[in-house]
Chains A and B, each alone.
Chain A
Amino acid sequence: MKGLALALLLAAACTSPNDDVSDCSEDRCEAAQSRDDLLDQVSGFGDPISAFLRDAVQEDGTLAGNYEQVLEGVGTQIGCERNTEKSFVVLSNQAFHAKTIFNRCADSPIDASEFFLLLPTLNEDLDVETSLIHMTAWDQDAQRYRRYATFPGDDGTMHINVEPSFCLGCHAGPRQLGTWQPLMNEMTNPWTQWNAAPGFVSHEFDDYLAEATQGGANYAEVSAEGLLDSASNFEPIIRAGIDRVTGARVQKRHDPADIDEALQLLQPLFCDEMVNYVSEIHGSGEIRSSALIDDSFRELLSAIGEGSELGFLSETTMQIAPQQDSESNLTLVAVRGESALRAELSLVTRQALSPLQALQVRSLDWTHPVASDFRCELFDAGAARIRAGVLDGEVSALGADATNLELLPLLLSEVMSLELDGEPLSLQPEGSVYLLDDADLAPASAMAWKELELSPAQLATRLQSAIDDASRDQLQRARDVRACQVAALLPTAPLIPDLRCE
């Protein structure tokens, strides 16, 4: 029920203004009322959008023109000319309405990730609305993305919102991280609901793009030949953006010890902060192995040096039997979000956590790489105990100069513990993991937990077997279960036409 209520709240936050009758939808009542008001709101901001706005904002706090003027203005700020601009189109979960994203300097994903501009809605003719903009740009000094939104005024100008809170409904994830992060539901081939051309065949995009949109003058403009690009080239831009956010996040390990900050660093190991989706490539039977095995198993086992002779450690895809006529294409299988994966691996590669410590978490309820209540409730329960003071003595003993880096193993140890029959049980066996297939099978005694203990080498072998034995039916069932769980959790969950949730 809590999850449903939260989902409803977030769904409202991500709702298109076309569906909302409130004058204050999408923070419109917070729009800048004057030039001075806007300048005050962006005071101290170091991102290129704020620099553009300082130059371009009119006395009444509005902008003239539409998205093209914004692209040109911000493009000038970041030194990226119009001929470096690309557009990318995705079908949203709002009745498959097309959303268009623009980047400049698109031939360099790292540079392109500095600035994103989105046209998120369609007008009453189902053509692209060009004056309602969501945009974000990286503030290098603040080490975060700054976000902005515009909406059309009655006089043809665009009103401006600075750091509107509604954006976080989608971009801060179900755990409400408090910061905007890039979001691309499908980050791997075949990018089912994205335009994948040129170079790739679009999967469901062509099937569901509205005819009215295809025929619209604005859509023709944003998808012009030479401008419209493939999701395959948007994916690395998003990855670069995620790396920016992740890098800033894990830098906080050097901050003075703070319980809440340190718990935030550990959270992505346990709870979904974002979800991604993978699909079978056009009936071939090839699908990302993350549909079955969390991607980080590969990285963590490789870091330990175990299982190098096993295939899945060097392969990001797996092969199931190709689709037969009577079978559905396996699309949109929910997997753990890339941002959480990168955050976890960032902590390991920076030696804030060991690969084994991360493996010990991944091994719990491992057949549910996403939407694991077991892992997330383990975290929340541990966090509650910690905030209630269970580790106050140990934290004090670290000294006044302690940093979050020193807090991490202490907090992780507390989170990774269960109380069974009044006795504490650590879920971090020395040199090994407890491989719990499913939360429903969680043992009730410490003795039974011991029977789940595996070395990393044994773990690698078990996971390889799981991949070798995987079937289409198995993954299809998992797809449906996860899709329903995630749909209740995330306002950004994609529309899956053949999905029925109880």
Chain B
Amino acid sequence: MHPHRYPLSNRRARLGLGGVALWLLASTTLACGSTEPDSSNECTDLFKCDVPTQPDQELCVARRSDAFNQNQVAFQPDFLRWSCADVNGVTNSDRGQEYCEYFAMVQLPANSEAEPAPEVAILGRNLGEDYSYGTTEEKLEISYEQLVALEQDEAAVVGQCIFSSWNSDIPGPIAACAGDGANCPSVLGVPVDDNIYRMKFYVNSAEAAQLLVQDCSVLPPGGDLENAKDPLNDDFYRACMLNGEINQTSYRKSDTTVCAASARMTECGCTAVDPDLNVGEYISPWDRMGFPLGTWSSPSALPAGCRFIDDGAGSQTLVSCDLSAADVIMGAFDLKGLCMQKYADNIVVHVPLPPAEALRCDPQASQSPYASSCSATPWVLEDHY
């Protein structure tokens, strides 16, 4: 890795040509959470709609608290991790910012015996590269007859929360759907395809993750070494502020965690033993669907009520979790939000790291004043406070 300061690329701005055109359109006629320009909407900043707006200093303190939460420590020897849950302040059509997007699917009963059951409702699914494309309808309309039918057995599973970490720039079909598609999985009868189940936001892409690692593989601005209370002397905070400067995404758990590991590796003079190894591409390879999902107790397990959707390649990037009739009745006005509250905290994105022996760290060769505190595995940041 070649440390350099403030590279031009960043996870926020890389929208691609179509995205750039969209950004130009948005900056003049933006609607927040809709596919049409909405002059009545107060949100006029493509990147600031429905996301936290506190200063980076505050956001970094909050993200640091998340990363070192005893129950959910982000930095592990073999991987980085964070939950699918969006942080406080990320709302509405901005939801799905942590390399994990989610939506609900519900099969409502028929309105009467004479009628067929309605099509499966897909609620709150992101529709495009960013929030401005909006989502599918978030509110579920339930008729009186359907309510009566649902109440006959409120414990019945009638819907699913779908969590996807399938990168938005990795094309389908999934392995199980290749060929004649005989083994193609489905949820409530809806086959798995990249239109519905793959993430949509550009920021949730293999490329964006690679760029994030690259962007953060620099020496972040340090603090006053004479002042032990200067927060910039903290490894995580320092990198978080760097990310805030580069990407304006210090509100995200994902960006701040990846940036912290990358920056710390740079401070500790870590390089790949194999000069051809690109750490960014190792972490976010083109030949993997996305970051594997798991839970806190295990990278290969899930919370109760959830299961992996078998994509035929064991990617662990697609998860479905049960919604009961009671859930659907109670959460009908925002089932996407219910999915987040009920499951997202315990569905955990895992970012596999290169094995320790693939990296060589030489703190003495580093120009960073923080190199003296480097451990043998510097990407496992330690909580010194």
Contacts and interface: CB of A to CB of B under 8 A. Distances in A.
Interface of A: 106-110, 112-114, 140, 189-190, 196-201, 230, 232-233, 236-237, 240, 243-244, 246-247, 251, 281-282, 284-286, 302-303, 308, 311, 313-317, 319, 322, 342, 345-346, 349-350
Given A110-B305, A236-B342, A314-B91, 19 more contacts: A110-B324, A199-B71, A199-B296, A200-B296, A232-B303, A232-B346, A236-B303, A237-B304, A240-B324, A243-B154, A243-B327, A247-B326, A281-B69, A282-B70, A284-B65, A302-B333, A308-B92, A319-B62, A319-B88
A240 B329 contact: no
B225 interface: no
B124 interface: no
Contacts of A200: 71-72, 296-297
B110 interface: no
B334 interface: yes
Interface of B: 62, 65, 69-72, 88-89, 91-92, 147, 151, 153-155, 157, 295-298, 303-305, 322, 324, 326-327, 329-330, 332-334, 337, 341-342, 345-346
A284 B337 CA distance: 24
Nearest to A196: B71
Contacts of B303: 232-233, 236
Instruction: In the A-B complex, list the 6 residue pairs whose CB atoms are closest, starting with the nearest.
Output: A199-B297, A247-B154, A199-B296, A243-B326, A198-B297, A315-B88
Contacts of B88: 311, 314-315, 317, 319
Contact of B65 (A199, A286, A350): A286
8 contacts: A109-B304, A200-B297, A201-B70, A247-B155, A284-B69, A319-B62, A349-B332, A350-B147
A315 B155 contact: no
A195 B186 CA distance: 36
User: Which of A106, A108, A284 has the largest count of B CB atoms less than 10 A from its CB?
Assistant: A284
B295 to A, nearest CB: 6
Given A110-B322, A346-B329, A350-B147, A243 B296 contact: no
B326 A106 contact: no
B49 to A, nearest CB: 11
A317 B66 CA distance: 13
Contacts of A201: 70-71
A303 B138 CA distance: 13
User: Which of B71, B91, B303 has the largest count of A CB atoms less than 10 A from its CB?
Assistant: B71
A109 B306 CA distance: 10
A233 B296 contact: no
Nearest to B89: A311
Contact of B71 (A106, A282, A349): A282
Contacts of B341: 316
Contact of A314 (B155, B322, B337): B337
B330 A342 contact: yes
Contacts of A244: 154-155, 326
A34 B93 CA distance: 63
B5 to A, nearest CB: 31
A460 B123 CA distance: 26
A109 B323 CA distance: 11
